[in-house]
Amino acid sequence: MLDPTKLADWQIAEAAEETMLPVQEIARKLGVLDSELIPWGRQLARIDQKAVLERLKDAPKGKYIDVTAITPTPLGEGKTTTTLGLVQGLGKLGARVSGGIRQPSGGPTFNIKGSAAGGGLAQCIPLTPFSLGLTGDIDRITNAHNLAMVALTARMQHERNYDDAQLAKRNLKRLDIDPNRVQMKWIMDFCAQALRNITIGKGGKMDGFEMESGFAISVSSEIMAILAVAEDLADLRKRIGKIVVAYSKSGAPVTTADLEVDGAMTAWMVEALNPTLMQSIEGQPILVHAGPFANIAIGQSSIIADKIGTALSEYHVTESGFGADIGFEKFWNLKCRYSGLKPDCVVVVATIRALKMHGGGPEVKPGLKLDEAYTKENLGLLEKGCDNLLAHIETVKKAGVKPVVCINSFYTDTPAEIALVRKISEQAGAYAALSEHWLKGGEGAIELAEAVKTAANEPNNFHFLYNLDTPLKERVELIAKEVYGADGVEFLPAAQEKLEQLSKDPELASMGTCMVKTHLSLSHDPTVKGRPRGFTLPVRDILVYKGAGFVVPVAGDIKLMPGTGSDPGFRRIDVDVNTGKVHGLF
């Protein structure tokens, strides 16, 4: 067996890829017909979602498992690794199982956090294509999004240069776009803080419309959110046409349909609607679809992938980004509402390392050696930090589901520390299971898999936190108080103004609420660890994603374009020029 204590993740993946199953065999294991498989190169394939879902529209549904976590350290706490480990563990128990994970963004892949393929002996393979663009979904999203910006800026230039008669000759009507109310930015899939705020259109009158603009990261695009929640091509097409790009000087929304670019944007996205089929290193089928960043986006694997997985498997394991306050809350109140799927079990991933940090341990920084407080037994620090775990357990229970706490094992964890987390979890009304999937693969996740099977086969009372007829202000307050633990919400002037405008919008009643907040704290302040109390959540802005069907309140100071750190991962990635193999991905 490969030893993850001696080998890097990319070395384990490279070794596992030598014996990986043909993708056609993985598809047959999942129950996908040959005619429903779209080969993509030598190792990958897409699944024809329309054909599969039509064939299986009346099929019984398998158990639906969501994986979320406590508030993480900046290093992450292993949600994807746990998702893969749980899939492998259920496979060891003889279950017909599939996984649904998100495609990694190039931003973290080449920055500090790395790819999102899992780790150790719980990985998704092949690693290199997974980490470097996969089958092109994020590229398609980037092109579709930027095409809307091309259409907008070109239209603004033409409206400035031509009078109404000249516009009419070109079959255009004046949209009278307000350059100060452009809602979108350009996007790219790297962490490029230097592009957050830029000026475009400098030069002469034929060089565009000069105005302030900027870049966000690709996975924060509304089009990514649309891909996550779309039911089919017709739904995708309709949603893309409703994207609000800007507002006119009279305050009317200017959509992609108004710019007549929505059809071309959809053309970029047709192939992206089909999930990519991959496999765990133990040969279970893994569906990869949609993207990460639940702190600034919905951050869920797609509804389409989950519908395929639940239709074809006894157990389908999906993942939600970051902690239960962000990822699970959006899974609970957005994704499940739109999909009609209800979870049979929710796994909350916890590490003793992170719990010690929440108990007051020294700051954890990527790239720096962990303080010995995290590698030596300290039950007092750990017990205090479990307050954060209890908050996430309570959040899942508020949805009517009994959680399973996965104690994601590190070799430095002591038996007494593990026993303490288990005791606190069980006293709070959760199942608890130790999992050593990183070290031992599926064999190390059997205890977790058994706990999940037990929880998933018990009845639950899943219900939403709010109804869609709940006013937006009340929804935000419910989420802040019931999930984050805030005393209340303060809508800052810009947000208050938008709140008043949105209250007059008849479409608001059918739209969900997708909060934007730091993932590093239950509060809006990333420096506040543990379980913050006595704080007021400041909402500084409210965005409208009419295509995705979201109102997006923005809490605290958070950027839609992350920054690249001083010791990014790209410094260690290279290519063997003799074999063409990529080394150093993590």
CATH number for the domain including 497?
3.10.410.10
pLDDT at 117: 85
Pairing of strands 44-47, 276-280: antiparallel
DSSP-assigned beta bridge partners for residue 473: none
Chosen domain end from 269, 288, 304? 269
From 81, 82, 135, 142, active-site residue: 81
Residues 277, 258, single domain; the answer is no
pLDDT at 372: 86
What is the phi-psi region of residue 118: left when phi exceeds 0, alpha when psi lies from -120 to 50, beta otherwise? left
**Amino acid code (one letter) for 378:** N
Containing structural domain, residue 294: 9-134+272-374+405-420+429-456
Helices (H), 93-221: 106-109, 127-131, 137-161, 164-169
> Whose CA is closest to 103, among 82, 124, 120?
124
Residues 278, 409, single domain; the answer is yes
Residues 80, 205, single domain; the answer is no
The stretches in the chain having pLDDT less than 50 are none
CATH number at residue 146: 3.30.1510.10
From 410, 462, 464, 586, active-site residue: 410
Residues 124, 143, single domain; the answer is no
Residue 168 lies in a domain: yes
**Cα first-last separation, the chain:** 20
Residue 543 lies in a domain: yes
From 322, 491, 535, 550, active-site residue: 322
Chosen domain end from 269, 289, 312? 269
From 29, 46, 63, 79, active-site residue: 79
Residue 568 lies in a domain: no
In this structure, how many other beta carbons lie within 10 angstroms of the beta carbon of residue 165?
7
Residue 236 lies in a domain: yes
Residue 398 lies in a domain: no
> Whose CA is closest to 213, among 226, 202, 197, 224?
197
**509-540 in b/e burial notation, b at 16+ Cβ within 10 A?**
eebbbbbbbbbbbbbbbbebbbbbeebebbbb
Residues 163, 128, single domain; the answer is no
From 29, 63, 102, 239, active-site residue: 102
Residue 443 lies in a domain: yes
Helices (H), 322-378: 329-330, 336-339, 352-358
Tokens of 167: 């516009």
Q: What is the pLDDT of residues 569-582, one digit of tens each?
A: 898 899 989 998 89
Residues 308, 434, single domain; the answer is yes
Residues 230, 308, single domain; the answer is no
Residues 433, 285, single domain; the answer is yes
pLDDT at 294: 66
In this structure, how many other beta carbons lie within 10 angstroms of the beta carbon of residue 250?
7
The angle formed by the CA atoms of residues 562, 11 and 581, to the nearest 5 degrees, is 80
CATH number at residue 357: 3.40.50.300
Residues 247, 148, single domain; the answer is yes
CA gap 473, 478 in Å, rounded: 9
Establish whether 10 is a catalytic residue. no
Q: What is the pLDDT of residues 346-363, one digit of tens each?
A: 999 999 999 999 999 998
Establish whether 79 is a catalytic residue. yes
Residue 291 lies in a domain: yes
Q: Is the dihedral of CA 302, 345, 348, 515 positive or negative?
A: positive
DSSP-assigned beta bridge partners for residue 198: 213
Establish whether 586 is a catalytic residue. no
**Amino acid code (one letter) for 144:** A
Phi, psi (deg, nearest 5) at residue 103: -75, 135
Residue 573 lies in a domain: no
From 29, 113, 453, 546, active-site residue: 113
Establish whether 373 is a catalytic residue. no
Residues 129, 169, single domain; the answer is no
Distance of CA 162 to the CA centre of its chain: 43
Establish whether 113 is a catalytic residue. yes
Residues 301, 239, single domain; the answer is no
Residue 215 contacts residue 561 (beta carbons within 8 Å) = yes
From 216, 246, 272, 294, active-site residue: 294
pTM comes to 0.94
Q: Is the dihedral of CA 231, 229, 100, 191 positive or negative?
A: positive
* H or E stretch covering 227: helix 222-229
Tokens of 561: 């374009």
Number of domains the chain is built from:
3
Tokens of 301: 């694997």
Residues 170, 261, single domain; the answer is yes
Establish whether 294 is a catalytic residue. yes
